[in-house]
Amino acid sequence: YLDDFNKQKKTHLVSAGTIHYEPFGIFPGKTKTLKALKNGATVAVPNDTTNEARALLLLQDQGLIKLKDGAGLTATKKDIVENKKDLAIKEIEAAQIPRSLKDVDIAVVNGNYALEAGLKVNKDALATEDADSIGAKTYGNVVAVKKGNEKTDATKALIKALKSDTVKKYINDKYDGAVVPLF
């Protein structure tokens, strides 16, 4: 994202440090557990490329599908090479997915949309994206600064404060798994 932003805006921002990420979660709709998924079950995923790929990777991590080698963060439904339960992958606009839970068996929801919808990631999600996943590593929220300022005393102090135990506790208490510290 930062690289694209720099190209589009002709800026020279760099990451001074990664602070947190919003994990994707698999939430129950009509089906209440992953083990209870029947053949042909409907799975809602975001319809934009980046978020769909993260959703498909999470489904793969849970053993529900298999993507072709190297699909990574550009994966689409076309990259599914194994789907033993013949899951029907339904692409929906990401912000609409929480409202669609009643219409699908399970849904992969972005952390920020789960939070907005009142879903508790730590309690309601059947599975979540791990902190060491490619999605978390790639799309972690960073402190962006002008190139050359990443090692200034002020930037170092800010990063130190943001990576404190106090901030970690606040994030964990306030967001209940919808935002996860990466420090």
At residue 176, the pLDDT reads 87
Is the same domain home to 109 and 161? no
- Encode pLDDT of 83-140 as tens digits: 999 999 999 999 999 999 999 999 999 999 999 999 999 999 999 999 999 999 999 9
Is the same domain home to 68 and 110? yes
Instruction: Provide the Cα torsion 82, 86, 90, 91; round to 10°.
Output: 10
Q: How many domains does the chain have?
A: 2
Is the same domain home to 16 and 67? no
- Encode pLDDT of 145-176 as tens digits: 999 999 999 999 999 999 999 999 999 999 98
- Encode pLDDT of 50-83 as tens digits: 899 999 999 999 999 999 999 999 999 999 999 9
The whole domain housing 62 covers 25-129
How does residue 28 score in pLDDT terms, banded at 50, 70 and 90? very high
Instruction: Answer with the one of 129, 146, 162 that is the final residue of a domain.
Output: 129
CATH of residue 45's domain is 3.40.190.10
Is the same domain home to 37 and 75? yes
At residue 151, the pLDDT reads 96
Is the same domain home to 39 and 102? yes
- Residue from 7, 34, 6 nearest 105 by CA: 34
Is the same domain home to 110 and 171? no
What distance in Å separates the CA atoms of residue 106 and residue 97, rounded to the nearest whole number? 10
Is the same domain home to 15 and 37? no
Is the same domain home to 88 and 124? yes
pLDDT surpasses 90 at 1: no
Is the same domain home to 36 and 78? yes
At residue 112, the pLDDT reads 93
Q: What is the 3-state secondary structure of 17-32?
A: EEEEECCCEEEECCCC
CA neighbours within 13 Å on the CB side: how many for 93?
Answer: 3
At residue 38, the pLDDT reads 98
Is the same domain home to 81 and 96? yes
Is the same domain home to 41 and 110? yes
